[in-house]
């Protein structure tokens, strides 16, 4: 069995980046040191050439031409950084001092000043730095090989890199220790989170000292609050579903017993009809829950533009036809209004609102579905009814009925809000609205009437 791959460690990643940055800085420092050393060596060499030329210009003439070879001079060992100067002296245009034979290789006309020339020496072309000066009938040219400059630059760079190479392992150890100590608060926070219970909010890490960890802790607290609110809504919704399913299932049980005990009698026939109605009611509840689960599942129906007025008109006709009894379809008012949403969920929400209004108001009670923008720029679809003999009974449950619970849940998924309309003008007694783009109202929970607890039948 293959062992699971271990995730990378943050401290090692930080150490690698810090060391890579440090190496990059050292490389840049070495390059800069090399270039600076070469430049300074050239400046020093130019000064040496000027000083040597000045000395030779002022030296007195000593008779005949000198032909002593520099290699034959009894000098001590040459220091490492002592450059070998090559000198040519002319008197009245004739070479007077030229031990290396440079007079024949130099250009015949050289202006006073510094010159960089490529000239042969021992069959090899090299780059030379020469200084030419005049004083009366005397002309002096002093030169040296510029390869000395590069050697000096390399020596300076080597002297810098050697201690860096020796210290690099020690620096890596110190940086690793420092990063480990610096990440200790993060490790402590991770250990504290291992004992954290999000459902009870017990074991939440204490207040953090550092700003970055304070942000993490605040984000965790916000996440916990959202999760707890979500779990509360889920529990409330589950309780509503259980309540709504318990009522038809209990009725099915008692009516089935009654039909069995009074088979063949009018009471038994009525019990069988009641069993059928309660079975349809339970089936309608399960159908709506299944539709909600399918639409809310990953990879479910995608959001798309939905024209609310046409959808409301279609749902109103379906609800009136399903109710039967010649009940007229509620009128739909308002301009064509488009929102972004999932048609299946919006249809299910409107079906619950309109069907509840149709089922629990008398036939003569006025009904209206109103669609369109509001004065504050929000878009709403409202379902209004005249109330009639509808009775309110939420106090004994303290929660939403399944019809409004479904609508509330759908509104949350679709970026809308479910509002219970207040202070309605006559003839309207009750109204609910789905609102898009509105400012969240004051926290007054939507209370469902007992009649709204009945889910519409399919």
Q: Are 179 and 14 in contact (CB under 8 A)?
A: yes
User: Residue 412 and residue 440: Cα distance in Å, rounded?
Assistant: 12
Query: What region does 214 belong to: left with phi over 0, alpha with psi -120 to 50, or beta?
Result: alpha
The model carries a pTM of 0.47
Q: Are 370 and 353 in contact (CB under 8 A)?
A: no
Return the CATH class of domain 200-300: mainly alpha
What is the pLDDT at residue 35?
A: 85
What is the pLDDT at residue 444?
A: 37
As a whole number, mean pLDDT of residues 303-328 equals 87
Omega of the bond leading into 123 within 30 degrees of 0 (cis): no
User: Residue 343 and residue 380: Cα distance in Å, rounded?
Assistant: 16
Segment of 161-175, 235-249, 284-298 carrying the highest mean pLDDT? 161-175
Residue 452: which residues within 8 A CB-CB, separation 6 or more? Answer: 356, 360, 401, 403, 404
118 vs 9 pLDDT, higher one: 118
Topology adopted by domain 303-458: Heat Shock Protein 90 (3.30.565)
The burial class, CB within 10 Å (0-12 / 13-18 / 19+), for 46 is middle
Degrees to nearest 5, angle at CA 75 with 73 and 77: 135
Q: What is the pLDDT of residues 69-104, one digit of tens each?
A: 444 445 455 555 667 888 988 888 888 888 888 888
Residue 308: which residues within 8 A CB-CB, separation 6 or more? Answer: 337, 338, 339, 346, 371, 379, 381
Q: Is the pLDDT of residue 168 over 50?
A: yes
Q: What is the pLDDT of residues 437-451, one digit of tens each?
A: 854 444 334 433 333
288 vs 153 pLDDT, higher one: 153
160 vs 319 pLDDT, higher one: 319
User: What proportion of the chain, given as a percentage, has pLDDT over 70?
Assistant: 80
Strands 304-307 and 124-135: unpaired
As a whole number, mean pLDDT of residues 274-278 equals 74
Q: What is the pLDDT of residues 380-409, one digit of tens each?
A: 999 999 875 444 433 333 333 567 878 888
pLDDT band at 435 (very low <50, low <70, confident <90, very high): very high
- What are the sequence ranges of the domains in the chain? 9-56+83-182, 200-300, 303-458
Q: What are the backbone angles phi and psi of residue 422, rounded to the nearest 5°? A: -115, 160
* Of 246, 248, 274, residue with least CA distance to 259: 274
As a whole number, mean pLDDT of residues 420-424 equals 90
Sign of CA dihedral 261, 262, 264, 270: negative
The burial class, CB within 10 Å (0-12 / 13-18 / 19+), for 45 is buried
Q: What are the backbone angles phi and psi of residue 235, rounded to the nearest 5°? A: -65, -40
Q: How far apart, in Å, are the Cα atoms of 214 and each of 10, 11, 79, 189?
A: 19, 20, 64, 10
* Of 389, 440, 385, residue with least CA distance to 411: 440
Q: What are the backbone angles phi and psi of residue 237, rounded to the nearest 5°? A: -65, -40
Q: Report the chain's mean pLDDT, rounded to a whole number.
A: 77
Q: Is the pLDDT of residue 4 over 80?
A: no
Q: Is the pLDDT of residue 66 over 50?
A: no
What is the pLDDT at residue 294?
A: 65
Residue whose token pair is 């159908």: 287
User: Residue 420 and residue 426: Cα distance in Å, rounded?
Assistant: 16
Q: Is the pLDDT of residue 329 over 70?
A: yes
DSSP states of 57-72? HHSPP-SSPB---GGG
113 vs 84 pLDDT, higher one: 113
Q: Is the pLDDT of residue 64 over 60?
A: no
Residue 413: which residues within 8 A CB-CB, separation 6 or more? Answer: 295, 296, 342, 345
As a whole number, mean pLDDT of residues 140-145 equals 90
């Amino acid at each position: 069995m293959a062992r699971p791959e271990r995730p990378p460690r943050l401290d090692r990643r930080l150490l690698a980046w810090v060391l890579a940055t440090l190496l990059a800085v050292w490389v840049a420092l070495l390059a800069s040191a090399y270039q600076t050393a070469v430049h300074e060596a050239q400046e020093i060499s130019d000064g040496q050439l000027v000083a040597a030329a000045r000395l030779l210009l002022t030296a007195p003439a000593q008779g005949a031409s000198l032909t002593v070879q520099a290699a034959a001079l009894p000098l001590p060992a040459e220091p490492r950084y002592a450059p070998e100067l090559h000198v040519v002296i002319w008197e009245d245009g004739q070479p007077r001092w030229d031990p290396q034979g440079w007079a024949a290789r130099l250009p015949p006309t050289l202006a006073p000043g510094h010159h960089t020339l490529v000239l042969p020496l021992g069959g090899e072309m090299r780059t030379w730095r020469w200084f030419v000066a005049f004083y009366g009938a005397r002309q002096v040219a002093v030169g040296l090989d510029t390869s000395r400059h590069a050697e000096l630059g390399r020596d300076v760079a080597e002297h810098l890199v050697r201690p860096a190479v020796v210290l690099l392992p020690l620096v890596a150890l110190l940086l690793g220790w420092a990063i480990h100590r610096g990440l200790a608060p993060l490790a402590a926070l991770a250990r504290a989170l291992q004992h954290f219970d999000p459902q009870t909010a017990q074991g939440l890490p204490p207040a953090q000292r550092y700003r970055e960890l304070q942000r993490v802790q605040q984000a965790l607290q916000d996440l916990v609050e959202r999760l707890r609110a979500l779990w509360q809504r889920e529990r409330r919704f589950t309780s509503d579903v259980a309540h709504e399913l318990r009522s038809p299932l209990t009725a099915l049980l008692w009516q089935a017993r009654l039909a069995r005990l009074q088979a063949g009698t009018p009471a038994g026939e009525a019990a069988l009809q009641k069993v059928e109605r309660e079975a349809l009611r339970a089936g309608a509840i399960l159908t709506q829950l299944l539709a909600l689960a399918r639409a809310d599942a990953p990879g479910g129906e995608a959001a798309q533009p939905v024209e609310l007025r046409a959808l409301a008109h279609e749902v109103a006709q379906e609800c009136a036809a399903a109710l039967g009894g010649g009940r007229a379809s509620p009128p739909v008012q308002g301009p064509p209004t488009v929102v972004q949403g999932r048609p299946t969920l919006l249809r299910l929400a409107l079906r619950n609102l309109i069907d509840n209004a149709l089922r629990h108001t008398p036939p003569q009670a006025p009904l209206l579905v109103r669609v369109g923008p509001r004065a504050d720029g929000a878009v709403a679809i409202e379902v209004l009814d005249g109330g009639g003999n509808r009775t309110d009974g939420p106090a004994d449950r303290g929660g939403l009925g399944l019809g409004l619970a479904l609508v509330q849940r759908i509104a949350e998924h679709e970026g809308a809000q479910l509002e219970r309309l207040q202070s309605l003008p006559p003839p309207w007694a009750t109204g609910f609205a789905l609102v898009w783009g509105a400012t969240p109202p004051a926290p007054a929970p939507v209370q469902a009437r007992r009649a709204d607890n009945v889910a519409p039948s399919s």
